[in-house]
Amino acid sequence: MEIVWSAGGNMTTSRTQIAGCGVQKAALNFGGNGYSIVTEAYNGAAWIAVGTLSTGRLSLAGAGAQSAGLSFGGDTGAVSAVTEAYNGATWSGGGNLNTARKQLAGCGTQSAGLSFGGSTGSVSAVTEAYNGAAWAAGGNLNTARSFLAGCGTQSAGLSFGGSTGSVSAVTEAYNGATWLAMGNLILSRSGPGGAGTQGAALCFAGYAGATTNEAEAYNGATWSVVMHMISVRSEFCGCGTQAAALGCGGW
């Protein structure tokens, strides 16, 4: 599969440690450093400021679509359990995470979300599933990690990379109940972007001792190196599919 990266329209507000959701031509980003409440929507060419988060946070996670987004966890000065749902115009409160975490990852939809990993002050293996109103405990990651990435669905999720105290190449697949160890990333890294599905994922950029632009594609079993991003970065938003991914913001 050929992967080609090209420049898109810049965000209206530069931020790192942001989250996002959606697809390449209908994406949403939110939060970030400075406990930002900024939310922006992308139409494939330009970003537009839209309804702001109720609780400003950095190092949060996201799931869902541009018109039905979900934000959860993060850092408000302390680890946060806050969950908010977006309806295409405004954010409203949802059920809090059972375990407050920052630097976590997420995937799925607004009514069937998945949160995993992160930090409670130490690296976490916690996984929780969301039903649109409340979070319930799921099977823990085999390897606790913060600053990891993920993609897929609540019953077919994928987690990769992150930090265990050092950069990690660990990849795990979720079946709705348990995580299974899969083929490791070629390049160990924390803070990468993620896109795609459990059987067709993309991991891009991150921190591997230095910020990198290396991208890898996953076929459900193994990772292979594909065309690098134009810009090196870490702790940014990734979304979309393996064949049509989007990365925005970051260090």
Give the pLDDT score at 1: 65
Round the average pLDDT of the chain to a whole number and report it. Answer: 98
Q: Hey, which CATH number is domain 19-242, 1.10.260.40, 3.20.20.150, 2.120.10.80, 3.40.50.10470?
A: 2.120.10.80
Residue 149, both tokens: 């990435």
DSSP-derived pairing of the beta strands 47-49 and 61-65:
unpaired
Choice among 3-7, 53-57, 65-69, 168-172 with the minimum mean pLDDT: 3-7
Give the pLDDT score at 2: 76
Q: How confident is the model at residue 216 (pLDDT cuts 50, 70, 90)?
A: very high
pTM of this structure:
0.97
Question: What are the pLDDT digits (tens) for 27-42?
Answer: 999 999 999 999 999 9
Q: How confident is the model at residue 214 (pLDDT cuts 50, 70, 90)?
A: very high
Ordered DSSP codes for 20-39:
EEEETTEEEEE--TTT---E
Question: What are the pLDDT digits (tens) for 150-207?
Answer: 999 999 999 999 999 999 999 999 999 999 999 999 999 999 999 999 999 999 999 9
- Between CA 12 and CA 223 the distance in angstroms is 33
Choice among 2-11, 63-72, 128-137 with the minimum mean pLDDT: 2-11
Question: What are the pLDDT digits (tens) for 58-102?
Answer: 999 999 999 999 999 999 999 999 999 999 999 999 999 999 999
Q: For residue 11, what are the CA distances in angstroms to 8, 22, 64, 84, 104?
A: 9, 15, 20, 22, 23
Cβ contact 58:36 at 8 Å? yes
Give the pLDDT score at 3: 82
Give the pLDDT score at 35: 98
Q: Please state, as a whole number, how many other Cβ atoms lie within 10 Å of the Cβ of residue 161.
A: 30
